[in-house]
């Protein structure tokens, strides 16, 4: 059964409808001075108002949802006319049956009596149509926003889930490399990986985390990368500003750092990776600069853009019109600069 917005979904609205109709029935009595006039109004006026209330809800609760909103226009207006004929007929019957109780100022006229409720009925039709269509529009807009929010949440969760395995795959390769060398740093690397996994499995579930936590995560990742890199690779990570006071979506910055290590490390000559985070209370500027090293592994090159594509999509969803991503590549130096305004 179709839910009637404003009545079934919000019970207090029923009381608003009741109070409005009670006021509609009682307020006119305050402006009628004679007792005869009050008696006449309580018999004839109240009956007409009850007819208008019935026509109001006939259109509001039944005709509009069943016909108008389903684009059955001809049937809708046909049923409107039918309801108007029923009201006119009931008014004629009522006037005839109360002729002995109420003194009428004018002689009985069938057409005058039958057409008398038409104007009030048109007012009831206009009011009920405006109210019902407006409520249907607001209800549709609310449902549309809920669907968009649900779609956004699902898409963000999917993109975030793609980040985690991608990152884990790289780190496990690093630890595997240390294990092959029988390095004493293998145990330390596993400990750091467990700390990183704790962040990924717990804090990354939140919509936002402290920028300070995200920075600690990046630092752990960088330290883990240092374990496998030669001394000729220089890595710098500088932070300016109160990072602890800001919040950011988790795992948003790591793809830029991953990309720098993937493409900026050379084992044939010196290479440098520079990471800088400048934070204020209104924005953050995250810059990653690295040399472009030539890799022999074409498969790695082909899959290198997965993380960056995901983070670009996340930025479009999370900060529409509030972020700017600038990438420059001159063949020697690659620079990614991300600006987010809060």
Confidence (pLDDT) at 304? 47
In a domain, 129, yes or no: no
Residue 326 has pLDDT above 90, yes or no: yes
In terms of pLDDT, which residue wins out, 146 or 252?
252
Residues 87 and 198 in one domain: no
Number of domains in the chain: 2
Average pLDDT over residues 94-118: 65
| 112 & 221 share domain | no
237 shares a domain with 96: no
- pLDDT tens-digit series, residues 232-243: 889 999 999 988
Residue with more model confidence, 34 or 293: 293
In a domain, 168, yes or no: yes
Residue 277 is predicted with a pLDDT of 96
Average model confidence (pLDDT) for the chain? 78
Is there a single domain that holds both residue 40 and residue 182? no
Is 91 within 8 Å of 52 (Cβ atoms)? no
For residue 162, pLDDT beyond 60: no
CB-based contacts of 202, cutoff 8 Å, min separation 6:
none
- Is 238 within a domain? yes
Q: Which residues contact 309 (CB under 8 A, 6 or more apart)?
A: none
Each residue's pLDDT tens digit, 21-76 = 777 666 665 666 665 555 555 556 667 788 888 888 888 888 988 888 888 899 99
Q: Provide the domain limits for residue 49.
A: 12-116
Which residue stretches of the chain are H helix?
12-26, 35-40, 46-57, 73-97, 110-115, 118-180, 186-201, 211-226, 254-264, 298-302, 306-318
Domain co-membership, 159 together with 307: yes
Q: How confident is the model at residue 195 (pLDDT cuts 50, 70, 90)?
A: confident
Which of 2-11, 202-211, 254-263 is the least confident region? 2-11
Percent of the chain with pLDDT over 90: 16
CA distance linking residue 287 with residue 226, whole number of Å? 19
Do residues 189 and 87 both lie within one domain? no
Whether residues 81 and 209 fall in one domain: no
- CA-only gyration radius of the chain, Å: 36
Asked whether residue 330 is domain-assigned, the answer is: yes
| pTM across the whole model | 0.55
Give DSSP secondary structure letters for 33-63: -SHHHHHHIIIIIHHHHHHHHHHHHIIIIII
Q: What is residue 192's predicted lDDT score, i.e. its pLDDT?
A: 83
CATH number for the domain harbouring residue 325: 3.30.565.10
Q: Which of 197-211, 214-228, 251-265, 315-329 bottoms out in mean pLDDT, i.e. has the lowest? A: 197-211
Q: With cut-offs at 50, 70 and 90, classify the pLDDT of residue 153.
A: low
Q: What is the pLDDT of residue 308?
A: 75
21 and 91 inside one domain: yes
Residue 101: CA atoms inside 13 Å, Cβ hemisphere, count? 11
Confirm whether 131 is domain-assigned.
Answer: no
Query: Would 141 be classed as within a structural domain?
Result: no
Same domain flag for 161 and 32 = no
Beta-ladder partners of 239 = 277
Q: Are residues 34 and 169 in the same domain?
A: no
Asked if the model's pLDDT at residue 3 lies above 70, the reply is: no
76 domain-assigned: yes
Higher-pLDDT residue of 211, 308? 211
- Statement to judge: residues 32 and 168 lie in one domain: no
Residue 145, in any domain of the structure: no
The number of C-alpha atoms within 13 Å of 204 and in the hemisphere containing its C-beta is 23
Three-state secondary structure call for residue 229? coil
Average pLDDT over residues 141-151: 72
- What is the pLDDT averaged over residues 185-206? 80
Domain edge (last residue) among 116, 131, 162: 116
Among the candidates 60, 94, 116, a domain finishes at 116
Whether 224 and 109 share a structural domain = no
């Amino acid at each position: 059964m179709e839910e009637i917005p404003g009545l079934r979904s919000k019970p207090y609205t029923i009381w608003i409808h009741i109070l409005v109709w009670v006021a509609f029935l009682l307020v006119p009595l305050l402006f009628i001075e004679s007792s005869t006039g009050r008696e006449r109004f309580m018999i004839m006026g109240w009956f007409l108002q009850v007819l208008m209330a019935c026509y109001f809800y006939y259109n509001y609760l039944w005709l509009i949802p069943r016909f108008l909103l389903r684009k059955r226009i001809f049937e809708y207006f046909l049923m409107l006319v039918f309801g108007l004929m029923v009201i006119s007929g009931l008014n004629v019957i009522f006037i005839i049956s109360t002729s002995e109780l109420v003194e009428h100022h004018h002689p009985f006229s069938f057409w005058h009596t039958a057409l008398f409720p038409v104007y009030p009925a048109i007012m009831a039709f206009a009011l009920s149509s405006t109210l019902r269509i407006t409520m249907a529009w607001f209800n549709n807009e609310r449902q549309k926003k809920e669907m968009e929010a649900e779609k956004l949440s699902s898409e963000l969760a999917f993109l975030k889930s793609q980040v985690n395995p991608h990152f884990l795959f790289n780190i496990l390769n690093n630890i595997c490399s240390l294990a092959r060398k029988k390095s004493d740093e293998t145990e330390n690397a596993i400990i750091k990986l467990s700390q990183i996994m704790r962040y990924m499995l717990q804090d990354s579930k939140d919509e936002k985390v402290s920028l300070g936590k995200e920075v600690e995560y990046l630092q752990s990742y960088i330290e883990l990368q240092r374990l496998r890199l030669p001394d000729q690779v220089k890595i710098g990570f500088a932070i300016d500003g109160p990072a602890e006071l800001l919040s950011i979506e988790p795992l948003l910055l790591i793809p830029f750092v991953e990309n720098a290590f993937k493409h900026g490390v050379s084992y044939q000559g010196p290479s440098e990776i520079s990471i800088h985070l400048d934070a204020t209370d209104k924005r953050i500027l995250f810059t990653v600069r690295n040399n472009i090293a030539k890799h022999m592994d074409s498969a790695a090159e082909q899959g290198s853009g997965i993380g960056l594509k995901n983070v670009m999509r996340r930025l479009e969803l999370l900060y529409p019109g509030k972020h700017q991503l600038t990438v420059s590549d001159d063949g020697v130096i690659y620079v990614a600069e991300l600006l987010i305004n809060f």
